[in-house]
């Protein structure tokens, strides 16, 4: 929802109209990555704090420094904060900005994937390992070789392969990697290095992980999103093109790639036949929430599907103080997803 609209919101009324309420209220949480491990729901969000940073389009005010894992016995049970799982001070290569994470489970171990800025000011993606889904997590001493940008999401396919999807524009720096090498020119300009509106949009990246889930097994590839005519979405198509927050889930044999459109505030999705894509755009999953960002995950729980997302209603519209929520999503017979509006009329 645009910043200028927030000043006119009655948040008491808005919260009564919301289709869901914050899962936890004692801390601010955002970017929820949800999984079912051993029959229990685990949510891996970022942990919002008010660090006093000035608001800018590079995301300096998103100064998160640690992670808490939230768990739920069932979709209707209370959400439990399991305490500190990982702090930036424990990560040798990372300086600041522990943004949206994800997690995976393999052979009795749990893996927390997270972006952070190194001491050179460049976002990389790290991984930390635990014997418990709630941590604490022990980080690897270096970031994943060949990683860059933000928003890792790891998908386990039915054949036991794991794929990471990642990337985010503007403060997430994806546009600075267009040549394969970080472009440090115009560091204070969030829109430097973006393609022209009539050029193909920048894509998220996908890469298959090694068997130990600690490294990439190949070079990252583009996640291409096509329009209804089979052409790549254009950079100027900002109500449909990828911006940040990639996620992948599988439904009825099809791969669903979903993502945030960033400055237009939608969660959209596209469908493909392979984890690598290409994916054909289908529509919107979630209309804009209160707060600038929109970031989500999709998880099956007890044969129903749920969208985990966030908004800034608890903080009365403060962009960088968000709260995680959950709402059921439903599919049509043709596999399309019915669009959710976060607040009832």
Handedness of CA 33, 85, 39, 78 (dihedral sign): negative
Tens of pLDDT along 79-103? 999 999 999 999 999 999 999 999 9
pLDDT of residue 50: 86
Look at residue 175 and give its three-state secondary structure: helix
Q: Give the predicted TM-score (pTM) of the model.
A: 0.95
Q: Are strands 279-286 and 225-226 parallel, antiparallel or unpaired?
A: parallel
Domain boundaries, the chain: 3-329
The dihedrals phi and psi of 170, each to the nearest 5 degrees, come to 55, -110
Tokens of 299: 């998880």
pLDDT of residue 161: 98
Q: Kindly list the distances between the CA atom of residue 139 and the CA atoms of 92, 108, 330, in Å, as whole numbers in the listed order.
A: 8, 17, 37
Concatenating the DSSP letter of every residue in 225-256 gives EE-TTSPBPBTT-TTTS--EEEEEEEETTEEE
What distance in Å separates the CA atoms of residue 107 and residue 200, rounded to the nearest whole number?
A: 40
Closest CA to 45 of 28, 59, 58, 29: 29
Rg (CA), the chain: 18
Look at residue 24 and give its three-state secondary structure: coil
Tens of pLDDT, residue by residue, the chain (345 residues) = 544 456 568 898 999 999 999 999 999 999 999 999 999 999 999 999 987 666 666 777 778 999 999 999 999 999 999 999 999 999 999 999 999 999 999 999 999 999 999 999 999 999 999 999 999 999 999 999 999 999 999 999 999 999 999 999 999 999 999 999 999 999 989 999 999 999 999 999 999 999 999 999 999 999 999 999 999 999 999 999 999 999 999 999 999 999 999 999 999 999 999 999 999 999 999 999 999 999 999 999 999 999 999 999 999 999 899 999 999 999 999 999 999 999 998
Catalytic machinery residues: 31, 244
Beta bridge partners of 208: 163
- For domain 3-329, the CATH class is mainly beta
pLDDT of residue 9: 84
Look at residue 88 and give its three-state secondary structure: helix
Would you mind telling me the total number of residues written for the chain in this entry?
345
DSSP 8-state class, residue 119? T
Beta carbons of 344 and 63 less than 8 angstroms apart: no
Closest CA to 97 of 52, 148, 150: 150
Under 8 Å CB-to-CB from 254, ≥6 apart: which residues?
Answer: 271, 272, 273, 335
Strand order across the beta sheet in which 267-272 lies: 225-226, 279-286, 267-272, 254-260, 244-251
- Residue 334's CB is within 10 A of a number of other CB atoms, namely 6
Under 8 Å CB-to-CB from 198, ≥6 apart: which residues?
Answer: 234, 235, 236
Please calculate the CA angle 219-116-141 and round it to the nearest 5 degrees.
75
């Amino acid at each position: 929802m645009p910043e200028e609209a927030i000043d006119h919101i009655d948040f008491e009324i808005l919260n009564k109209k919301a289709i869901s309420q914050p899962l936890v209220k004692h801390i601010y949480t955002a970017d929820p990555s949800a999984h079912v491990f051993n029959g229990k729901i685990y949510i891996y969000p970022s942990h919002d704090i008010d660090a006093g940073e000035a608001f800018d389009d590079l995301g300096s005010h998103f100064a998160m420094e640690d992670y808490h894992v939230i768990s739920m016995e069932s979709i209707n049970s209370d959400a439990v904060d399991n305490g500190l799982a990982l702090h930036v001070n424990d990560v040798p290569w990372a300086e600041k900005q522990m943004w949206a994470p994800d997690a995976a489970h393999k052979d009795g171990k749990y893996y927390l994937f997270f972006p952070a800025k190194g001491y050179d000011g460049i976002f990389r993606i790290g991984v930390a390992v635990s014997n418990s889904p709630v941590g604490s997590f022990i980080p690897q001493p270096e970031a994943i070789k060949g990683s860059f940008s933000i928003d890792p999401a790891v998908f386990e396919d039915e054949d036991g392969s794991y794929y990471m999807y990642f990337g985010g524009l503007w403060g997430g720096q994806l546009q600075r990697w267009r040549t394969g090498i970080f472009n440090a020119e115009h560091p204070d300009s969030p829109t430097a290095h973006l393609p022209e509106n009539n050029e193909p949009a920048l894509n998220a990246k996908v890469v298959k992980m090694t068997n130990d889930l600690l490294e990439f097994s190949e070079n990252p590839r583009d996640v291409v999103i096509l329009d209804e005519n089979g052409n790549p979405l254009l950079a100027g198509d900002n109500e449909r093109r990828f911006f940040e927050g990639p996620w992948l889930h599988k439904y009825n044999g099809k791969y669903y790639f979903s993502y945030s459109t960033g400055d237009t505030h939608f969660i959209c999705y596209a469908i493909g036949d392979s984890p690598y894509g290409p994916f054909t755009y289908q529509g919107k999953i979630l209309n804009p929430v209160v707060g600038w960002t929109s970031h989500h995950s999709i998880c099956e729980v007890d044969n129903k599907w749920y969208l985990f997302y966030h908004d800034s209603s608890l903080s009365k519209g403060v962009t960088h103080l968000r709260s995680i929520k959950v709402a059921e999503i439903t599919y049509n017979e043709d596999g399309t997803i019915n669009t959710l509006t976060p607040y009832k009329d």
